[in-house]
Amino acid sequence: MTDLYDAIHRRRDVRGQFTGAPIPAPTLDRVLSAAHAAPSVGLSQPWDFILVRDAGVRATFHAHVQQERDTFAATLAPDAAERFRPIKIDGILESTLSVVVTYDPTRGSPAVLGRHAIADAGLYSACLAIQNLWLAATAEGLGVGWVSFYREDFLRGLLGIPAGVRPVAWLCVGPVTHLEATPDLERHGWRRRRPLTEAIHEERWTPAPPA
């Protein structure tokens, strides 16, 4: 039994602590079942999970991510570029498994209950599944790292994902040596966490206090 709040507050976006050790099949099944138990607009369950273990495919993706990292670095002011340099952005090669989560807008179409006014509602559902996966993995002693330095079309081509289906996340998953107490980006001085009180508004939107 794992405490929900413990999983929520210990969870980290992992880049550097993967061991590469195997994930027992029943563990992976519990984690994917948790993802699949997420809520979805109109009960459409528009997600799919592609499990990528192949080293060659992962190396190809990793090279693409490195390119995108350079593209991003080139947009930064010198001081930001300096802070970005030591930050590791992925664990694609070191993690045991990659799970690519996709969104299929045709699932349950044409009449997806609850999606007529908000086209993105199906995309939101896929994200809810990702958070369930992430918390279950944390509870199981696994780390998860979300890689978003990629072009969706590149990933479609790499994994044979049809044109109408959208890749939402590349998740690195696997056993880790430990979870850091402080998020990587905060440890590296990239950005500080915001106090919860600033995010809460009573009854109506209230502008942020002057910085």
- Min dist CB 197 to a copy of itself, Å, is 10
- For residue 182, the tally of other CB atoms under 10 A from its CB is 10
Is the Cβ–Cβ distance between 23 and 142 less than 8 Å? yes
Under the binding rule (CB under 8 A), the answer on residue 30 touching a copy of itself is yes
Q: Could you give the C-alpha distances from 88 to 56, 92, 188, in angstroms and in order? A: 21, 11, 10
> What does the alpha-carbon distance between residue 143 and residue 173 come to, in Å, rounded to a whole number?
6
Under the binding rule (CB under 8 A), the answer on residue 47 touching a copy of itself is yes
> What does the alpha-carbon distance between residue 69 and residue 203 come to, in Å, rounded to a whole number?
41
Under the binding rule (CB under 8 A), the answer on residue 88 touching a copy of itself is no
Region 153-172 residues binding a copy of itself, contact defined as CB under 8 A: 159-162, 165, 168-169
Under the binding rule (CB under 8 A), the answer on residue 137 touching a copy of itself is no
- Min dist CB 191 to a copy of itself, Å, is 4
Which tokens is 56 given? 């060659």
Under the binding rule (CB under 8 A), the answer on residue 136 touching a copy of itself is yes
- Min dist CB 22 to a copy of itself, Å, is 16
Q: Could you give the C-alpha distances from 6 to 136, 139, 187, 197, in angstroms and in order? A: 11, 8, 21, 21
Q: Could you give the C-alpha distances from 58 to 78, 88, 102, in angstroms and in order? A: 31, 17, 17
Measure the N-to-C terminal CA separation of the chain; round to a whole number of Å: 43
Region 109-128 residues binding a copy of itself, contact defined as CB under 8 A: 111, 113-118, 120-121, 123-124, 127-128
Single residue of 15, 18, 44, 94 touching a copy of itself by CB under 8 A: 44
Region 169-208 residues binding a copy of itself, contact defined as CB under 8 A: 169, 183, 185-186, 190-194, 196, 199-205
Single residue of 16, 60, 68, 180 touching a copy of itself by CB under 8 A: 68
Under the binding rule (CB under 8 A), the answer on residue 23 touching a copy of itself is no
